[in-house]
Amino acid sequence: MSLIDNIVQLDEYRWEVSRNYKDSMRVPGRIYADERLMRRIIQDQSLEQVVNAASLPGIQKASLAMPDIHYGYGLPIGGVVATNVDGGIISPGATGYDINCGVRLARTNIMRKDIELGLLKILVDALYQNIPAGVGSEGRISLSAAQHRDVLHKGAAWTVQQGYGTQEDLACTEAGGCLAGADPDAVSQKAYERGRRQLGSLGSGNHFVEIQYVEQIYNEPVAKKFGLFADQITLMIHSGSRGLGHQVCTDYLTLMDKAVSKYKITLPDRQLACAPFDSPEGQQYLKAMRAAANYAWANRQLLMHRAKEVLERVLRLSPKDLGFSQVYDLAHNIIKLEEHVVEGKKIKLAVHRKGATRAYPAGHSEVPAIYRQVGQPVLIPGDMGRCSYVLVGTPRALEETFASTCHGAGRNLSRHAAMRAAKGRAIHRELEDQGIIVRSSGHKTLKEEMPEAYKDVSQVVDVVHGAGISLKVAKLRPLGVIKG
């Protein structure tokens, strides 16, 4: 029987591929989607990747796929795999190239009515002029060798120590903006060179800085705890570890390919190349991955500081009147060591999230103290023409998905397909007709990232909300966007 014939719908939002589908599967594959999204999902090879991941040594519960799933390298984007640190593996392909690609949201005291179209254009232009964006873009900080090592050790804390932010920012960042156990010596010289001049730069592709407003509140008490209210201006940043993280992944995929043979690991797909978690190769990758994750948190911290400076200058407001402060910052592509209950026992797992977001519930120690009463903020960006969402983590996510949920809309078209669909169109003018001002380093990026290239994020969010693995708090509508 084919894979499609082996997919069983469990309920309105859950589907499963039995572990009996292939002899190599150690756990089932579980997909979160409604029927409409499932019709799109089965059109690429991402479900085969879900099945392949189900064969990884030490995998627990299920190979998970969120509703924004699409085909990726090894593990699909939108995939979650948790492996036992005792006898399991660790895999760069199940983490992704852009290590700690993630999202940061800041709130302000400004209302939508305070930024009319002319001022909005000035503001977007100023952001574009002051935040380096695009392929190979360089930040305005050139790191010495010692500073670079400090960034990889300390993450966002290094940036704050240099005067680019506050301790409150760190308190509202996943892991405090720093993974302990990072080792700069595990990062190659080539990765160092690629990252040395890129701190404080946005990058290209789907990375962005976006001015938004709160269009709708779904949960007033939780929104109030997050500091969000109707018609409020917010700012969202989506970026990662730039060339440094990409090189770390590239370097360790090569090492892991050799480790597969050395440790006699049988895999259905060599893109899932891995090593035993406690092996020298596995531990070396974990240290390098943490270093790249710390670089990404430092990068987003600096990007947010630059954006804050632009808003204060263009709007001619004091810091107090602007009221610019961070809501939260979270990672999408990362491995975290976490304790979860499996078959009634609490065990330590290496949770690989690739295009997936943590979603811890109220009361959990992983939730920042300021939000612990209501749960962790979950930030879900959409495409630049529709909307983004703020959700909150739930006990059900902790029980079912290793406290994980979706990370965005997920691609609907490949970049090549998007370019073909956008031929002859002026995407920036189409968006401006909707009242959205966009600046980018080239028309190619806008065509690759046009709204139709992505699934409708509202459909994706409705699935995770309906499944109860994160709940809607607020909808954010874009006003101005800068892209790489």
Angle at which helices 280-315 and 117-130 cross, to 10°: 140
Burial 396-408 (b: 16+ CB within 10 A, else e): bbbebbbbbbbbb
Residue 365: both structure tokens together: 């120690």
Closest C-alpha among 9, 30, 68 to residue 378: 68
Q: What's the CA gap between 326 and 451, in Å, rounded?
A: 27
| 428 catalytic per annotation | no
Burial 206-222 (b: 16+ CB within 10 A, else e): bbbbbbbbbeebbbeeb
Closest C-alpha among 290, 121, 294, 303 to residue 202: 303
Q: What's the CA gap between 111 and 117, in Å, rounded?
A: 13
Q: How far is CA 152 from the centre of its chain?
A: 19
> Measuring CA to CA, how many Å separate 228 from each of 42, 165, 217, 312, 362?
37, 20, 8, 20, 18
Q: Please count the helices (runs of H) and the strands (runs of E) in the chain.
A: 16, 19
Q: Is the dihedral of CA 161, 165, 170, 174 positive or negative?
A: negative
Q: What's the CA gap between 3 and 50, in Å, rounded?
A: 11
Q: What's the CA gap between 362 and 354, in Å, rounded?
A: 24
Contact 80, 419 (CB under 8 A): no
Pairing of strands 29-32, 63-70: parallel
Looking up tokens 């009634």 gives 344
Three-state SS at 145: helix
Closest C-alpha among 103, 206, 240, 102 to residue 445: 206
Closest C-alpha among 175, 238, 235, 223 to residue 371: 223
Out of 148, 305, 332, 407, the active site residue is 407
Three-state SS at 403: coil
Q: What's the CA gap between 377 and 367, in Å, rounded?
A: 9
- Name the CA dihedral angle for 432, 438, 440, 445, rounded to a multiple of 10 degrees: -70
Instruction: Point out the residues that are catalytic.
Output: 407
